[in-house]
A and B are shown apart, each in its own frame.
Chain A
Amino acid sequence: MPPPTPADTAVDPSPAGPRRALLDATPGPLHPAAREALLSALDNGWADPRRLHSEGRRAAHLLDQAREVLADAVGARPAEVSLHPSGSHALQGAITGLRSARRRVGDALVTTAVEQALVLRSPDTEPVGVDRHGRVEVTAWAEAIGAPGVAMGIVAPANPEIGTRQPVEELATASRAAGVPLLVDATSTVGRLPLPRTEAYAVCVADAAAFGGPPLGLLAVGAGTRWRPPGPVSAPERGREVAPPSVPLALAAAEAWRQHRHAATDDARVAHELIAAIRAAAADVPDVEVVGDPDARLPHVVTFSCLYVDGEALVGELDRRGFAVASGSACTADTLQPSHVLAAIGALTHGNVRVTLPLAAVAPTRERDVARFCAELPQAVAAVRAHLGTLDL
């Protein structure tokens, strides 16, 4: 067989048809400045930062600079921050380190019923229930975290699927009163919502993909936090990783933050209004339920559920019309299990659409894209219902 030609293996970056509207930034394309930084870092920062030759020392120097910028993203000092291949790696490492330091106290991990699957799959997890918006109640949290044998609490400042914000400062106060360290999972919220006060938590995890960078996990362990790295301290990233981070990715992530940190407030304000428009347009479609808190939420995320619609078919119909959206649906090929977040709030788990807006700097047409989405959504839902023969229900 002849070797494949480039045409066989290349993926068309811009599918044919209508202009593409990117409404699923999980992850999204890089911030343009981050992309430039990545390309030049591929030339300047390719070496192993542990090497002693000039190229290695240059890579190490660039990595130090990137770490200094990225520390600001997680409200920490550079010496407290480690870089990881993804937010999930950082989160896994953070849990392991806290567990290890707290093993004499206990194993229980108190969290919410809507945390990400990686947290809920951890051993000895005790999820606290949420209300119909997905918000955890402070008194229920305080009771769970105050029980004997709790190693840590874990909470995301807002839910990345339905957007609802958690009362994270109050949860932090309750955790502190119980003497239990709190891990703040800002994987999906960093750059989109302000972080809690740094005194409020022990450990913070984030991912540069949330603010227009490439996937790059950030882990900040506050000074004074009892935390034991999984590896020997001589291992990369203060013993927290098995290999040093990619220097080009770290530089691109740092550039994304440098660009975004001053734009964050304005970007969030506009995104909040755009999502409000989508929420209103979706609620106007018959038999559609918009979930999550309408106001106290992530600025750029919304999920809605459509009765009598197959979620995959709806995502396909929207894709055909030029919209890239995610489905929170259960009925995917790889799993029969419904979304635990939607199940926890009593929402429909089928016929879901999740919109995650990219930053304006990443998608300069996002306002027009949202307007077009709002206009076409009723027809798209009706088209899928017509195909399923459910328009008359």
Chain B
Amino acid sequence: MSAPVLDARGQRCPMPVIALARAARAQPPGAVLVVLADDPAARHDIPAWARLKGHTVSLADDGGHTAYRVVLGGHPAEKSTAGA
């Protein structure tokens, strides 16, 4: 079974991160999500989001966009507060 793919190409930040967070909410820990994005800010924001939420992310460039593969960690349904 392949991971669900979100297409966020053409979307500007923070939309790709919002789409990812929404998709992640319905998935259990360990689930894999893939998002395609071409906003240069996503390169920083998707890994930063993953770090804040305890997920891990790897990325691969594919022509004009980047594919981000996110492995969910922790408990995505739980609200968390990022510390200072």
Q: What separation, in Å, do the CA atoms of A330 and B84 have in the docked complex? A: 21
Q: Quick one: given A343-B44, A347-B48, are A308 and B14 in contact (CB under 8 Å)?
A: yes
Count A-B contacts at CB 8 Å.
Answer: 90
With beta carbons under 8 angstroms apart, the residue of A285, A337, A347, A393 that contacts B40 is A337
**Of residues 312 to 342 in A, which have CB atoms within 8 Å of B's CB atoms?**
330-331, 336-338, 342
A283 lies within 8 A of B83 (CB) = yes
Sort chain A's interface into a size bin.
20 to 34
B18 at the interface (CB under 8 A from A): yes
B84 lies within 8 A of A290 (CB) = yes
A308 lies within 8 A of B81 (CB) = no
With beta carbons under 8 angstroms apart, the residue of A280, A284, A286, A346 that contacts B48 is A346
Q: Which of B25, B40, B45, B83 has the largest number of chain A CB atoms within 10 A? A: B45
Chain B nearest CB, measured from A117 CB (Å): 15
Interface string of B43-75 (1 = CB under 8 A from A): 111011101100000000000000000000000
Q: What separation, in Å, do the CA atoms of A288 and B80 have in the docked complex? A: 10
Chain A nearest CB, measured from B42 CB (Å): 9
**Of residues 273 to 298 in A, which have CB atoms within 8 Å of B's CB atoms?**
279-280, 282-290, 294
B82 lies within 8 A of A288 (CB) = yes
Task: Spell out A's residues near B (CB within 8 Å).
Answer: 279-280, 282-290, 294, 305, 307-310, 330-331, 336-338, 342-343, 346-351, 388, 390, 392-393
15 CB contacts below 8 A, A to B, read A287-B81, A305-B48, A307-B49, A308-B21, A309-B14, A330-B41, A331-B13, A331-B41, A336-B41, A338-B44, A348-B44, A349-B13, A350-B13, A350-B14, A393-B21
